[in-house]
Amino acid sequence: MSPPRIALESGVEGERCLRLSGHWTLDSIDTAHRPSLGGDAGVGGKGDGTIRVDGAIEALDSAGALALARLIDDLEQGGARVDLTALPAGQRNLVELVKARLPPPQTPRPPREGILARIGRATVAKFTEGNAFLAFVGELVVRGGRLLAFPWRIRWREVVAEIEAAGLRALGIVGLLSFLVGMVMAYQAGATLADFGANILIVNLVAIITLREMGPLLTAIIVAGRTGSSYTAQLGTMRITEEIDALRSIGISPFDMLILPKIVALIVVLPLLTVFANLLGLLGGAVIAAYRFEVSFSVYFDRLPEVVDLTTLMLGLVKTPVFAVAIALIGCMQGMRVAGSALAVGRATTVSVVQATFLVIVLDAGFSVLFNLMGY
Amino acid sequence: MGDLDHITSEATVSPVARLSGIRNCFGHECVHEGLELELPAGRIIALVGGSGTGKTVLLRTLSMLRRPDAGRLELFGEDALAAGEDAQRRLRRRIGLLFQGGALFTALTVLENVMLPLREHTAVRGHWLEELAMSKVRLAGLPADSASKYPAELSGGMVKRAALARALALDPRLLILDEPTSGLDPIAAAGFDALVRELTDSLGLTVIQATHDLDSIWRGSDAVAFLARKRVLAFAPAVELAQRDEPELVAYFRGSRSAEYAKLELGRSAHTSGRT
C-alpha cells in the first residue's frame, strides 16, 4: 500500500497539473496530518489559472476524499480554478460530495467558562439542590398529610411490594453483618475486660452498644446503600424513559404511586429490620463470649435483662423511622431530579448513597446529644 | 486491503452478505427457520414484515451481535460464525450499524461519538482525527455547531443523523439501518432517504434497512426483502412484490395506502420502461 503522493507540474500556457497517485485511504494517509502541498509537493500552491487534477489514484475512501477536498479548497482559496474532469466518475462524485460539506478547518468549541463563572454556577447549584429538597419535603407533608386523613387511599399493594423488596430480601445481609459486628465487639471488649477478670461485663458492653447505636445505625447504613440507591436508580431510569411523564399523563400522581409507598414501606421496615439486627448482634456477641471468654450462653442471656431494659431498646428504635424517612426521601428526590442521560442516573445514585449515609450519621449524632440532654 | 478498493473497481459481483439456513429461536418460539438471504453489492434493500417477524433479530444476526441457533452467515465472502476474534473485529469494521434509538453514547459529544470507532480501529490521532470525524458529521447532514453537543441536547432527527455519522465513521461497506426514519416527520424522513441514497452511490455502500415507511420502501430502496412464515418470503423490487398473490404480500402491498403507491409506481415504470 503506497502512501498518497502529490506533484504540481507546470504545463503549457500556464496551465498547471496536479498529479495524484498512491492509495488515498484512511490507513495509508499519515495518521496525524493530511497530505498538503507545502509538505508533499514541494511547490507553493499559490497562483491563479486552471489546475487540472490528473493521475491515477489507486484507492479512495472518504478520508482520502476529505484530504483531497481540503487540498482543492486551499488551491481555490489561492485564486486557482481546479478542474476535476480527469478523475473517474466515482472518485469525482465522492470528492465533490465531501467538498460540498467541508467542515470548517477548526472544530468550533464552546467557549470555556472562567473560574468565577464556575464557582458561581456551583454555588447556585447547591442552593437549588437545598431548595429542591425543601420543596420535596413540602410536597411530602402536603400529600402525605392528605393521605393520612384518608388512609384507604394509600396504595397498599405497592407498599407491600416495597416492604418485601426492602425488608424481607434484606434480612440475609442485615443479619449476617450484624452477627459479625456483634462478634467483633465481643472480641474487642473481651480482650480488654479479661485482663481485669471482668469477662462478665462483655454483656453490658455488647448489649448497650448494639441496642442503642450499632443495630439502628448499621441497619440504616445498609438500607441506605441497598434500598436508597435502588430507589434513585429506578426513579431516575423511569424519568429518562419518560415513564414518570406517562404516569402523569394517565392521571396518576407519581408521588402517590411511586414515592409515598416507598416512604411508608421504609418507615415500617427499618424498625423491624433493626430489631432483627439487634437479635443477631447479641447472638454474635454471645457466641464469642461463650467460646472465647468463658461466659456461657445461659449466663449471657440471664444477665442480659439485668443490664438493659426496654428503655434501652426503645432509645435505639425510636430513631429508625426518622432514618427511614431521610433515606427514602433522599433516594426518591435524587431519582426524580435525574435529567438527560444514563450517566446522570449513575451520578444521582452515588449522590443519593453519600447523602443518605451522611444524613443518617448526622441525625444519629443529633439523637445522642438530645438523649443526653434528656438524661438517658 | 480488499475493503478499500470498492471505489476504484466497480461493484464486485459476489454478494456482500449471504445468510443461509438461519434459525433464530427464543426459548420454544422460533422467529426464523431456514431463512435465506443474499445482499447484492451497491444496493439499498428494505427489510419489510409485520411486527414480530424478526426484522431486528435478523439485523442483529447480520451484524454479528446475535449468534443464530443454526445456519451460516457469510460476510464479504468470509464465514463470519467460524471467524476468530481478530477476523470478527476486521469484519465488524466493515459494517456500520444504526440502532433504532440511535444508541449514541450519552456521556460523549456528537464529535466524540464519531471519533470513538476511528480511535479504536485506526492509528489516526490529533487534528486529522477531529477533522475526519467532523467531515462525517457534515456528511450526515448535521450543522458544524452540533458536533460539540451532547445527545440529550439533540432533536430526534438530529440523533438519527448523528448515529448515521458514527455508523459511517470507518467507511463501512455494509450499512445496517434499523428503522432509520421512524419517529421523523415525512420531510425529514424523505431527506434521510435521499441522504442514504447519495452516500450509497458515492461511497459504494450496500444498505439494508428495516422499515415501515412506505416512502422508504417504494422510493428509497432498490429491492424489498419481505419477512413472513419465518423466512424471507420474497425478495424483489416493491413494484414486483405488489403484483404477487401470496396472502401476506397482498395484505401488505395492496392495503389501501400501499395500493396508491403501487398505482403511482406502476404507472411510472410503464412510462419509463428503460429505467432499472
pLDDT digits (tens, 9 = 90+) for A15-62: 778 888 888 888 777 766 666 665 444 444 556 677 888 778 888 888
Positions of chain A with pLDDT under 70: 1, 11-14, 31-48, 105-110
- Is the CB of residue B20 less than 8 Å away from at least one CB of chain A? no
- Per mean pLDDT, which range of B40-44, B163-167, B225-229, B240-244 is the poorest? B240-244
Query: What is the DSSP code string of chain B?
Result: -GGGTTTTS---SS-SEEEEEEEEEETTEEEEEEEEEEE-TT-EEEEE--TTS-HHHHHHHHTTSS--SEEEEEETTEETTT--HHHHHHHHHTEEEE-TT----TTS-HHHHHHHHHHHHS---HHHHHHHHHHHHHHTT--GGGGGS-GGGS-HHHHHHHHHHHHHTT--SEEEEESTTTTS-HHHHHHHHHHHHHHHHHHT-EEEEE---HHHHHTS-SEEEEEETTEEEEEE-HHHHTT---HHHHHHHSSHHHHHHHHHHHHHHHHTTT--
Scored b (16 or more CB within 10 A) or e, A138-164 reads: eebeeebeebeeeeeebbeebbeebbe
Task: Pick the more confident residue, A164 or B8.
Answer: A164
Residue B71 phi, psi dihedral angles, 5° rounding:
115, -175
pLDDT at B116 over 50: yes
Confidence of residue B188 (pLDDT cuts 50, 70, 90): confident
Under an 8 A CB cutoff, do B139 and A1 touch? Answer: no
Give the model's pLDDT for residue A315.
92
Question: Euclidean distance between the first and final Cα of chain B, in Å?
Answer: 31
Please give the ipTM for the structure prediction.
0.74
Mean pLDDT, range B19-30, rounded to an integer: 88
pLDDT at B13 over 80: no
Under an 8 A CB cutoff, do B124 and A31 touch? Answer: yes
- Is the CB of residue B147 less than 8 Å away from at least one CB of chain A? yes
Confidence of residue B10 (pLDDT cuts 50, 70, 90): very low
Mean pLDDT, range B218-239, rounded to an integer: 87
Mean pLDDT, range B4-27, rounded to an integer: 70
Distances (CA, A) of A167 to A221, A222, A226, A262, A316: 14, 11, 11, 11, 18
Confidence of residue B9 (pLDDT cuts 50, 70, 90): very low
Residues of chain A that touch chain B, judged by Cβ-Cβ distance less than 8 Å: 1, 23, 25-27, 29-34, 57-63, 66, 70, 88, 90-91, 93-94, 97-98, 101-105, 107-110, 339-343
Task: Pick the more confident residue, B269 or B190.
Answer: B190
- Is the CB of residue B128 less than 8 Å away from at least one CB of chain A? yes
Give the model's pLDDT for residue B270.
63
pTM: 0.71
Residue B98 phi, psi dihedral angles, 5° rounding:
-110, 115
Q: In chain B, what residues touch A23 (CB-CB under 8 Å)?
A: 1, 4
Under an 8 A CB cutoff, do B125 and A88 touch? Answer: no
Residue with cell 467460524: B82
Average pLDDT value over all residues in chain B: 83
Give the model's pLDDT for residue B272.
57
Distance from CA of B42 to the nearest CA of A (A): 13
Closest Cβ opposite residue B139 in set A27, A101, A343: A101
Give the model's pLDDT for residue A140.
82
Domains contained in chain A, CATH given: 5-100 (3.30.750), 151-373 (no CATH)
Task: Pick the more confident residue, A267 or B152.
Answer: A267
